[in-house]
Structure 1
Amino acid sequence: MIWRVWLLERVIATAVISEKESEAEAYASLEELKSLVTTAGGTVMATTVQNRPTPDVSTYVGKGKADEIEGLVEEWEADVVVVNGELSPRQGQSLAARTSARVIDRTQLILDIFADRARTKEGRIQVELAQLTYLLPRLRGQGHALSRLGGGIGTRGPGETKLETDRRHIQKRMDELKKELRRIRKHRSTLRKQKERQNHPQFTLVGYTNAGKTTLLNALTNEEALAEDLLFATLDPLTRALRLPSGLSVRISDTVGFIRGLPTTLIAAFRATLEEVSEADVLIHIIDATSPEAETEKQTVMELLDELGAGDIPVITVMNKAENLEEDGVPTVNAGRPRLYASAREKQNIDDLQTVMEDELIKQMSFYSISIPAGDGRRLYEIRHSTIVREETFDEANELYKLQGYAFDHHPQIAAERKTDKKEDHR
């Protein structure tokens, strides 16, 4: 069951700034936490920060800070305390015992948003599996905490009846979910192989959450997929067809946005969805050019790509939201080439991006020259739509179309033509 919050809940946000991170990084992360709360259907009434070498092993924050948090809860009549970190079972239970509000951490908040935004069957299964994986070691004390809830931030997903059952039942449910995911993955694999036989290259949009991936997808394909100014507006993978300037038909997929501190359980559970990333021919990395944290966000994305086994896939970097940049406000981002500035919302430089997309594919292709009889319209159509045609002429005397361009080595018709040419050369 998925709970929905219709009234904004009052939230107290708290963070520990450890000696491992700078003040700037910590406060940027805290601002991100506030955006996550807004996305989840809450409003941050107050924030509190504590500097200490490491979080307290018992209550995460010190006991004095815990008392301050309870004072803020009473002052603002807050419903939820959100900690900008991951609480151990002991820390969560101890901190919850010292306040009348629900206590959740950043991981649980992100899982909560995913539970609310998953639309497909696969997405819902992956969310529930991630939540159960996260909650399993935290079952002690959850029964009392959930018995006083009526739904809200941090409670969407499995529901209290599942969480109050014993570990064996929860483990059984997790096994069922994994079995269903394997079935879905097998089906997805079959569909993917069918698409591969169509010789349509795969582009995948990646980037930090709210960088503008879905808006760029809409600009490229002239479609109207949901694009909201919220974190994790897109959760379930979305694939669209696109015709590049040469006539080549490609597939382009949108994916869930990355974020710093993305829960490990979530990465593991969503690995099937993120296969769209690891199996792409080219990645298009969208960066919010207006973000003061653009370099950090880029680095977060690159690290997660490595973790997904996609670190060696060619990348096109798009500095998005360029329409909002001041002349002297261009961020310093250490991104490789090709790189271009664009505005997905204003559809600026979209044509340039499509040209770069073709150029990146050509680097993976080989040159071909082929002649096709004028009467073989089907074959001519397939070559025009499954390769990058650079030159096409018509030989009236022999009634042949002569095409030159670039194709993948595994393209069946081009490969067959090359094999025939080699045989003739050998003779």
Structure 2
Amino acid sequence: MPSPQQQSLALPVHIQVDWRRIGKAARRAAILAAAVPLTAGAAVMVTDKIRGQRYPLDSKFPTAAPMSTEIDGTTATLYTYGDDLYEAMLEAIDGARHTVFLETYIWKGDDTGERFKRAISEAAARGVEVYVVYDGFANLVVPQSFFHFPPQVHVLRFPALRPGLLTLDVRRSGRDHRKILVVDDEVAFVGGYNIGEEYATKWRDTHIRLEGRAAWELQNAFVDFWNRWRTHKHPVLQDKGAEHWQPSLRAARNAPSDLVFPIRGLYLDAIDRATSHIYITQAYFIPDRDILKALLAAAARGVDVRVLVPERSNHSLADWLARGRYTKLLRGGVRIMLYEGAMVHAKTATIDGRWSTVGTANIDRLSLTGNYEINLEIVDAGVASTLEEVFRMDESNSHELTYDEWRERSLLTKVAERVLEPLEPLL
């Protein structure tokens, strides 16, 4: 007779795993996990859209006249008001003798957009070689008829639908978020301004104009992008090379198709060097872990770190995701300035009165590791001083968010921040 131990070993064990049921439950859980933040995000955007209609971002805000600085044979001029910038850009196009390179993310079909369309069409009619790049997705709401130009104008529409969009393939999903104008290889513009009536007077943004040898930085950036994305119907642009190397003023270009993202490294390196102050102005500020860590480390070693952002921007979801960083930033000594009554869209920073950047990239995932972007890195005390004046001007239209004030926000707001956090990879 077998022992009790032997009997127990001989007993059959019937364990049936219903993989279909488990798989079905897992799919339901995944759908629910995705649905909650997506639904919350949609609700936030609808609510804020209604609020925006009641309280539009159309308040008057301080601006400064264009300010110029000489940098090693190049005149750098900062613009903080759209009307001033557009007049300078149109004047440059009207005076073009050889070439016009125009690249923009958004190009509205309104009166301002028509002025630019007319100016480049007239330039082409008088024999100027005109090349235009615009982002198809960003302009889906603009009638396609607006982008019908005379046959002399070479037009490249960056495709609206890209094959990597659904799979989040960075190489094949980034948008062309750059804003560049280069005329005759001598005058070049770059910054946050798109083209449109609203941006001319209602948005606070920053653009810079380079007149002189450093215009090559933006000219070369346009040529490389054009040749990378042109089709068989587009002519090849010649890369002329640089006769003058200017280490104090360089263009950093993000190129997702090549997994090249120097703008992020540019910020990290500059922040690590700071010993006195860091002034950052951003439209959408959602720093990744490394940039957040660098800013907190700078504040911990006594650097005066200030970040100026819209109190309410035109992208409410970006605002909510940005607020998810506020607790760590404020508790770590970083000062947050909220721009009031109008949309601030600038993408600038200046550090220690020596280093500055002006360009198209926001400090968020889309700009730093997703889109095609371009920022100038400028090591010059004159430009830094001018940007500090602009920062103080913007501070006069802002209020500082304190840690005590932030802690008093409602429980519902805190819950919403946590619920929306999974949507961060989308921005």
TM-score range, shorter chain: under 0.3
Q: Compute the TM-score of the two structures, normalised by the length of structure 1.
A: 0.25
Q: Compute the TM-score of the two structures, normalised by the length of structure 2.
A: 0.25
Which one has more relative contact order, counting CA pairs under 8 Å at least 6 apart? 2
